[in-house]
């Protein structure tokens, strides 16, 4: 009956089939949807169920056609993003693993799985990394590659635990078996327990899986030398085997218990269990397991002094084990048989044969130990390479993200700066428009004011002209008519009256400056010492009034006007040929 090694081998096959079968099932389509597959590959939501659907769609297709399809999809992948490349390489690796033997498929599966992982690291999707790692680890386990199987399954489990995600108990069981084979017994116990704790199904199949998990935990405690814990979990497994009436598992567990009794030197308890295990294993064709159990019985017979029986049993054990030379557990079992055979020959005095089998045992044992040590180093190397690769890709991703953020910041700054410039320009435009409108209003107000001033000034002029005409008419009448003394006095008084008083002059000056701004300033610049009378003369001259009109307005005689004009010419230093009115008009 199978013992520890046989148990593991059965579990490899059972667990791998279980893991492969534990996915959604879909009906096959008559025509393969290539464009639809390309679209699905690029989606973030292309989950494990989507991968299984695609595998079903490819199942009945010609392998060369599928290979060409993958090549075409791969060419498109260079410009389709990380998710597309991750899903495509993952799908391709799984398809190859299902259509070829391990030896033929392993190089290609390894290549595409690693490319899928790199793409998953690039998009920084831990769930995708975990899914790929689980499937890659389970494949390597099925191919007997324990070290990469342990590393990738353990890496996936750690990701799931950090993310607090719900994990299929079958995955934890798979990891427990892998870690047992790589001699990481404490972790094997931890994940096997998790598999039991997370299991909610109570079907017969699940119960059989649960008892195998108890058995794995017990084997780990046995390897750690804690036999009471080993018995505790073997008993739990045996209880469930009784409940499910699984005679095969009863025999496996009984054989394992017998080995623990042997290690405790409880040979009477161990011998019947091991003999039963030998008979059942041999009957089921598990010859290496049968040979292993028989060599334990031979050791007990040797302790009991039954050397002949022990010799017969180790010889049969050698024959049984050597018939299974191509099995994964061959060297473990062969080493055990060589060790027992050496002891038997040494006991009967055949030292040559004893040395021969001792050397064979040492060779096998050293080889197994080197393999175990190399395996641990290989796990460490793979883990380190995987972590370094993941960190490198994630750092590149972070650098790209930082570059994208810097680029976006620069773009945002440019947009903000442009918006501020536009706002400032718009504000300046509105300000200029407002200033222009105010200038137009001020110009209109000034023009209106100038027009009003001009009109009032014209009224002054017209009033002067009318009054001058009136005086001239009165004087004309006086010359040709007889008038009394009172009338002459009125005419003389009217002639002497100052038409432009000081108050009138201030009002006149204000109106004049509105029409001719800067006139008096320029006049002062030409003649700094110019008098007020000369300024008035210049202003009235600028209005093109006649000598009589000026005299009437200023309340002086015509001769006084001529004299004042002459002083103004001298003040302005004008030559006799220069026209006074033109000079004043150009100020």
Are 331 and 354 spatial neighbours (Cβ–Cβ below 8 Å)? Answer: no
pLDDT at 238: 93
Looking at per-residue pLDDT, the higher value among 472 and 261 belongs to 261
**Residue 318 confidence class, pLDDT cut points 50, 70, 90:** very high
Overall average pLDDT of the 226-236 stretch: 95
Is the predicted pLDDT of residue 442 greater than 50, yes or no? Answer: yes
Of the listed ranges 97-111, 307-321, 431-445, 470-484, the least confidently predicted one is 470-484
CB 181, CB 159: distance < 8 Å: no
Query: In the predicted model, what is the mean pLDDT of residues 472-484?
Result: 56
- Which comes out higher in pLDDT, residue 462 or 26? 462
Which pLDDT value is given to residue 221?
Answer: 96
Q: What is the pLDDT of residue 24?
A: 34
**CB of 375 within 8 A of CB of 151?**
no
Angle between helices 82-99 and 102-122 (to 10 degrees): 170
Share of the chain above pLDDT 70, in %: 80
Q: Is the pLDDT of residue 98 over 60?
A: yes
Cα 105 to Cα 397: distance, rounded to the nearest angstrom:
31
**What is the pLDDT of the chain when averaged over all its residues?**
80
Convert the pLDDT of each residue in 168-220 to its tens digit.
888 888 889 888 888 889 999 999 999 998 888 888 888 889 999 999 999 99
pLDDT recorded at residue 13: 44
Residue 428's pLDDT is what? 85
Q: Any residues with CB less than 8 A from the CB of 58 and at least 6 apart, and which?
A: 32, 66, 95
**Res 582 pLDDT > 90:** no
Q: Note the pLDDT of residue 482.
A: 56
Provide the 3-class DSSP secondary structure of residue 475.
helix
**pLDDT above 70 for 457:** no
d(CA 234, CA 76): 55
Rounded to an integer, what distance in angstroms lies between the CA atom of residue 139 and that of residue 88? 18
pLDDT at 324: 82
DSSP designation for 349: T
pLDDT range class, residue 246, cuts 50, 70, 90: confident
DSSP sequence for 386-426 = HHHHHHHHHHHHHHHHHHHHHHHHHHHHHHHHHHHHHHHHH
Query: pLDDT tens, 128-170?
Result: 888 998 898 889 888 888 888 888 888 888 888 887 777 788 8
Cβ-count burial 386-419 (b if 16+ within 10 Å, e if not): beeebeebeeeeeeeeeeeeeeeeeeeeeeeeee
Calpha distance 34→535 (Å, rounded) = 104
With 0-12 / 13-18 / 19 or more C-beta atoms within 10 angstroms meaning exposed / middle / buried, residue 283 is exposed
Instruction: Report phi then psi at 138, rounded to 5.
Output: -65, -35
Per-residue pLDDT, 378:
55
CA gap 53, 46 in Å, rounded: 10
Q: C-alpha dihedral over 266, 272, 276, 279, to 10 degrees?
A: 100
Looking at residue 464, its pLDDT comes to 66
Kindly list the structural domains of the chain, giving each domain's residue range(s) and its CATH number in brackets, ordered by start.
Answer: 498-585 (1.10.10.10)
């Amino acid at each position: 009956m199978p013992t520890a090694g046989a148990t593991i081998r059965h579990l490899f096959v059972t667990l791998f089939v279980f893991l492969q079968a534990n996915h959604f099932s879909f009906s096959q389509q008559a025509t393969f949807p290539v464009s639809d597959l390309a679209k699905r590959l690029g989606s973030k939501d292309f989950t494990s169920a989507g991968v299984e659907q695609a595998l079903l769609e490819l199942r009945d297709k010609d392998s060369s056609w599928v290979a060409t399809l993958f090549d075409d999809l791969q060419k498109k992948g260079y410009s389709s993003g990380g998710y597309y490349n991750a899903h495509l390489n993952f799908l391709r690796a799984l398809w190859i693993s299902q259509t070829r033997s391990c030896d033929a498929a392993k190089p290609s599966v390894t290549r595409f799985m690693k490319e899928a992982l790199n793409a998953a690291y690039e998009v920084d999707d831990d769930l995708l990394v975990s899914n790929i790692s689980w499937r890659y680890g389970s494949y390597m386990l099925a191919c007997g590659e324990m070290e990469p199987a342990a590393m990738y399954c353990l890496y996936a489990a750690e990701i799931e635990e950090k993310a607090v995600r719900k994990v299929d108990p079958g995955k934890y069981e798979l990891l427990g078996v892998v870690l047992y084979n790589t001699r990481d017994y404490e972790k094997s116990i931890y994940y096997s327990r998790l598999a039991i704790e997370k299991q909610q199904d109570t079907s017969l199949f699940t119960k059989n899986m649960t008892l195998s998990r108890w058995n794995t935990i017990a084997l780990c405690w046995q390897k750690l030398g804690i036999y009471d814990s080993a018995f505790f979990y073997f008993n739990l497994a045996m209880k469930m085997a009784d409940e499910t009436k699984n005679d095969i598992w009863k025999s496996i567990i009984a054989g394992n218990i017998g080995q623990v009794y042997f290690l405790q030197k409880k040979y009477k308890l161990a011998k019947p269990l091991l003999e039963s295990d030998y008979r059942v294993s041999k009957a089921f064709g598990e010859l290496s397991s049968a040979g292993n159990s028989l060599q334990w019985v031979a050791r007990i017979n040797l302790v009991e002094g039954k050397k002949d029986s022990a010799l017969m049993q180790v010889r049969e054990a050698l024959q049984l084990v050597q018939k299974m030379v191509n099995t994964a557990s061959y060297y473990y079992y062969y080493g055990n048989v060589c060790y027992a055979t050496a002891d038997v020959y040494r006991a009967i005095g055949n030292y040559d044969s004893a040395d021969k089998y001792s050397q064979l045992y040492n060779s096998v044992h050293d080889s197994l130990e080197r393999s175990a040590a190399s395996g641990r180093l290989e796990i460490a190397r793979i883990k380190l390479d995987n972590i370094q690769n993941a960190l490198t890709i994630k750092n590149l991703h972070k650098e790209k993200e930082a570059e994208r953020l810097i680029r976006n910041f620069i773009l945002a700054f440019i947009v903000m700066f442009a918006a501020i410039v536009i706002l400032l320009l718009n504000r300046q435009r509105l300000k200029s428009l407002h200033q222009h409108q105010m200038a137009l209003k001020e110009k209109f107000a000034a023009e209106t004011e100038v027009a009003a001033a001009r009109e009032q000034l014209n009224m002054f002029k017209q009033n002067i002209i009318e009054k001058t005409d009136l005086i001239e008419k009165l004087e004309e009448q006086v010359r040709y008519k007889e008038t009394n003394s009172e009338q002459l006095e009125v005419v003389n008084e009217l002639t002497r009256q100052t038409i432009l008083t000081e108050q009138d002059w201030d009002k006149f000056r204000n109106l004049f400056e509105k029409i001719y701004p800067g006139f008096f300033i320029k006049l002062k610049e030409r003649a700094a010492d110019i008098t007020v009378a000369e300024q008035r003369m210049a202003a009235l001259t600028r209005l093109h009034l006649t000598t009589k009109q000026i005299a009437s307005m200023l309340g002086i005689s015509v001769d006084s006007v001529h004299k004042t004009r002459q002083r103004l010419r001298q003040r302005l230093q004008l030559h006799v040929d220069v026209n006074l009115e033109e000079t004043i008009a150009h100020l």
